[in-house]
Structure 1
Amino acid sequence: MLPGEDRTARRVLLVCMAAGATTLLDQAVLNIAVPSMRQSLGATGADVQWIVAGYSLAFGLALVPGGSLGDLHGRKRLFLTGVAVFLLAGVAAATGGGPGTLIGARLVQGAAAGLVNSQVIGTIQDVFHGQARGRALGLYAVTGGVATALGPPLGGALVAGLGPEAGWRCCLLLSSPCAVLTLVLAARWLPPPRRTAGNSRLDVLGLGLLCGCTLTLMVPFIRTPGSGGEALLWGAVVCALAAVFALHQRLRLRRGRQPLVDRALTSSKPYLLGTAVAMAQFGSSLAAFLVITVFLQDGLGLSALLTAAVTLPGAVGMGISSALAWRLVRRIGPRTVTVGLTLGIGAVLSGAVVALCVPTAVLPVALAGTQLLSGVAGGLTVSPNQAQVLQHAPAEAAGVGGGILQMAQRIAAAVCLSAVPAVYLHAASGPPGGSHPRAGYALASGVCAGLLAVALLLSRLRRAATPPPFQGAEPTTRGADVAPVARHVPPARSPHHIPRRNM
């Protein structure tokens, strides 16, 4: 049963889940069609890199501006605009005649997806509180797991059934019906925006500095610098922009203006440490998934469809455990994240052992088992951690708080997707099915296990830094959009349903 105290709240959650499925399905389905798309368009390796990574780059850049605009001016109009632009850009990408058109369309589509998802996180925070918020975030994660699971098999079936030319174009159009349905439901069910009180001027300079910092941080990992001097230059620019942004935020606060990043976020150790946990978990999980898909196809010679079948249990496990994680949260509270991270470390290490010790004939089946365990671990980590982190975001900065969390995850993804596969490719230099690909996969798995161990340490530090639970009435943390949806919680209920006495 969906969380929420009335049918209106449940309808809002359905819209949020539909939006998450639409944007994540589009990203998952494209990877399987990259070879046929490259052959059809005559695209270079750099073109393909920007087609695939440009979506994530634009996605990350749009999160904080989208969250800030949603906090100030309401979420519904921005949500509808983002879904509409996403739909139109997807059609333009599918009908494009050259790599340049496809790159431009994917950049626009990624920015629209970032705008939509920042409104989704803010809306869930507006509508749901306490235990219901954790369940809502868990179901939102379920949609991500289902979309990720369906993407590769659907993409492979389209390419195999329609041929390379029509197949990759239909892959890009696969999310269009979902986008139309999401647009219709959002127009009917999302609550109307409310006018916010106080100063609602947007910090344009702060947004520009933050976007510039994010851009200069992610681009070198998407497109590797040609020399060490160029890499140092990128790093110097990132540090300079970050320093100017921090100075600008302090000056704005001294002048009595609302900074882009609310002071409650920057001064909250649990929020900052929880965001670091999310970065390590998200980056390591994506990197491990990319490494295993490369290993299965290049190292073992499996087809795209068989590779998708091996990785499918991971997505299924994540979907199921995300839906049930709130039950464990009710029993052991924030230690649920610790359990999930511990399982994640065990999953990637067991994958390394399996790759080195299990015969090739049964290796795909054994790796499917480790993927299932990894998916269960992710489901126990992602949504409980999100719920705990976003508890420390005030109502007036709900969208920005969620945007920063997702942007940090995108930055971690760019770094890990560049570094970890490079470790694998450096070690895996041998014939298909030989020992070198196995050793490379084991080494890359060890790197991912190390990142998850860092996340586990940060999770323990966050529990020690979390203040005692608030003992008053349930705060009315409603954002710019929602007044009639989230109802008052009776005084008999705890203001934070996630037990925090051990934090």
Structure 2
Amino acid sequence: MPNRRTVSLAICLCAAFTTLLDQSSLNTAIPSLRTALDAGPGTLQWIVAGYSLTFGLALVPAGRLGDAHGRKWLFVGGLSVFTAASVVGGTAESAWVVALARLLQGVGAGTVNPQIFGIIQELFTGRERTRALAAYATVGGISGVIGPLVGGTVIGALGEQDGWRWVMLLNVPFGLITVPLALKWLPAAARRPGTRPALDLAGLALLATATLAVLLPFVLPDGQGPPRFWWPVVAAAALVTLIAWERWYARSGRTPILLPALLGSRGFSLGALTAMFQFGATMSASLALTLFLQDGLGWSPLHAALTILPSSLGFAIASSQSWRLVSRYGRISVVWALTGSFVTLAVTAAVIGWVPAGQIGLALTVTQLAMGISGGLIISPNQALTLAHAPASAAGLAGGFLQVSQRISATIATAAVAGVVLAGITAGVAREAVAHGLVICVAMLALATFCAALDVRRPRVATEPGGREAPHTPPIASGAGPAG
């Protein structure tokens, strides 16, 4: 009989692969999709950024629902929505249908991912948890390898008119296999008799409003929606109301969505900020390079994918071993990896600006390999160190907060960087524009490094069931207690 923990982890990794494969392969297909469906700038903006919008909106509610009512059915439902939306997008005849499918895919992926973090938190502790999170990051690296490479190959073989459709359909077989396995193997909800956890629906609605007000201005094309200056006003009003509501809700003896054990934890806050800046920087840098190589230099999707491929290979290899470094050195290993990523991206910007066209492919291959290795040593260690501050009863919520911070950052950064790059390509100054876009990413990595460094000298803490933090020895190194 297979070990249920091992099988559950494998199912979670399959779901992660399914959602991340789509994300990594679609960037390669965007130019082809734009040509085949004659997608205008506004619709294309929704296709590119709409996924992150709905992904971010779904994360925290899905995490809280999973904590309160169990993760199995949310996992199954979210993955089913994601897979069905992939079919809709891949068979669409209009660009707006693809945009709608991307929104639904975001909802599905945003529902699944907090459950993955929650299940890992529930089933594993200590080094095992760090290794499970490293496996999750490794799967991300593998999907990064396969996505652009297969996407470029498919488009090259089938042509721009139909190749993008098969790129969108790549993840469907994985979804069809994973859903029935999840129904059989994932652990059911462990509910205590006579308890019915409150969900703080008003808090969820206010948080969703604030998140939407932050993200939507970067998703809406120019000229759509209310004037831009209204969005920060709405976001600020929603946040003020949310804080007031949460304080009253907590005084009434119920559990607020802004859980004090999370937001009051300096380690969790610094880890979330580190993840936010690092994720936004790497996502927007990858998109900038893809646009530059295909639209700026006129390379084929496969040629561009092969140039970026070393990043994904380096990431997959480094993330599979990252648990060893964090077990031995703790947070300082993340700081050094972030420093390496910062330096490498700065060198990449210099390569784009100054290296002749004949040598730029080789130079970018080297910098992308270094970028992937440093990224692989950042993500899962930072996740393990950050989620160590979450009580077990809020594992899904903590994963949701961690990822929503990343999605907000990715949406804002990709919109800003893509805007700079596309404007430069249109104006015939692609190299300068991409270099300027990468400088934005370098600044974000500097902020990520600063936040991680602030956490280096903190005493390590474990989160007790009641949400209090108690000092203890490093659990990753000792193998006892939660990772971090």
TM (norm. structure 1) is 0.88
Using the TM superposition, give the Cα deviation of residue 53 of structure 1 relative to its aligned residue in structure 2, in angstroms. Answer: 1.6
Using the TM superposition, give the Cα deviation of residue 278 of structure 1 relative to its aligned residue in structure 2, in angstroms. Answer: 0.6
Q: Say whether residues 1:320 and 2:317 are aligned partners.
A: yes
State the partner residue of 1:101.
97
Residues 354 and 367, structure 1, Cα contact 8 Å, conserved in 2: yes
Amino acid at match of 2:236: C
Q: Say whether residues 1:381 and 2:378 are aligned partners.
A: yes
Q: Taking structure 1 as reference, are residues 424 and 174 closer, same or farther at Cα in structure 2, changes over 3 Å only?
A: closer
Residues 28 and 290, structure 2, Cα contact 8 Å, conserved in 1: no
Aligned length: 472
Q: Taking structure 1 as reference, are residues 354 and 93 closer, same or farther at Cα in structure 2, changes over 3 Å only?
A: closer
Using the TM superposition, give the Cα deviation of residue 225 of structure 1 relative to its aligned residue in structure 2, in angstroms. Answer: 5.0
Amino acid at match of 1:444: G
- CA-to-aligned-CA distance 1:59-114 (integer Å, 9 cap, x gap): 11111111011000000111111112222222222223323333222212210111
Q: Say whether residues 1:396 and 2:379 are aligned partners.
A: no
State the partner residue of 1:71.
67
Between the aligned partners of 1:438 and 1:86, the Cα distance in structure 2 is: 36
Q: Taking structure 1 as reference, are residues 446 and 50 closer, same or farther at Cα in structure 2, changes over 3 Å only?
A: closer
Between the aligned partners of 1:227 and 1:93, the Cα distance in structure 2 is: 23
Using the TM superposition, give the Cα deviation of residue 226 of structure 1 relative to its aligned residue in structure 2, in angstroms. Answer: 4.3
- CA-to-aligned-CA distance 1:415-470 (integer Å, 9 cap, x gap): 11122333445566764xxxx43333333332222211111111111233x34445
Q: How does 1:58-457 map to 2 (within 5 A)?
A: 58-196=54-192, 198-226=195-223, 230-425=227-422, 431=428, 436-457=429-450
Amino acid at match of 2:419: A
Q: Say whether residues 1:458 and 2:455 are aligned partners.
A: no
Q: Taking structure 1 as reference, are residues 428 and 168 closer, same or farther at Cα in structure 2, changes over 3 Å only?
A: closer
Q: Say whether residues 1:57 and 2:53 are aligned partners.
A: yes
Q: Taking structure 1 as reference, are residues 176 and 420 closer, same or farther at Cα in structure 2, changes over 3 Å only?
A: same
Using the TM superposition, give the Cα deviation of residue 137 of structure 1 relative to its aligned residue in structure 2, in angstroms. Answer: 0.9
Between the aligned partners of 2:294 and 2:479, the Cα distance in structure 1 is: 52
Amino acid at match of 1:212: T
State the partner residue of 1:482.
none
Residues 13 and 136, structure 1, Cα contact 8 Å, conserved in 2: yes
Q: Taking structure 1 as reference, are residues 290 and 495 closer, same or farther at Cα in structure 2, changes over 3 Å only?
A: same
Residues 203 and 257, structure 2, Cα contact 8 Å, conserved in 1: yes
Residues 261 and 400, structure 1, Cα contact 8 Å, conserved in 2: no
Residues 270 and 463, structure 1, Cα contact 8 Å, conserved in 2: no
Using the TM superposition, give the Cα deviation of residue 139 of structure 1 relative to its aligned residue in structure 2, in angstroms. Answer: 1.0
Amino acid at match of 1:383: S
TM (norm. structure 2) is 0.92
Amino acid at match of 1:363: I
Of stretches 130-139 and 96-105 in structure 1, the one that deviates more from structure 2 is 96-105
RMSD: 2.3
Residues 41 and 97, structure 1, Cα contact 8 Å, conserved in 2: yes
- CA-to-aligned-CA distance 1:294-332 (integer Å, 9 cap, x gap): 222233332211111110000111111101111111221
Q: Taking structure 1 as reference, are residues 53 and 196 closer, same or farther at Cα in structure 2, changes over 3 Å only?
A: farther
Residues 73 and 196, structure 1, Cα contact 8 Å, conserved in 2: no
- CA-to-aligned-CA distance 1:456-486 (integer Å, 9 cap, x gap): 111111233x34445xxx9789xxxxxxxxx
Q: Taking structure 1 as reference, are residues 67 and 227 closer, same or farther at Cα in structure 2, changes over 3 Å only?
A: closer
- CA-to-aligned-CA distance 1:174-226 (integer Å, 9 cap, x gap): 11101011112212221122114644122111111111111111011122554
Gaps of 5+ in 1: 1-5, 478-488, 499-503
Q: Taking structure 1 as reference, are residues 128 and 475 closer, same or farther at Cα in structure 2, changes over 3 Å only?
A: farther
Between the aligned partners of 1:158 and 1:152, the Cα distance in structure 2 is: 10
Gaps of 5+ in 2: 467-474
Between the aligned partners of 1:121 and 1:468, the Cα distance in structure 2 is: 21
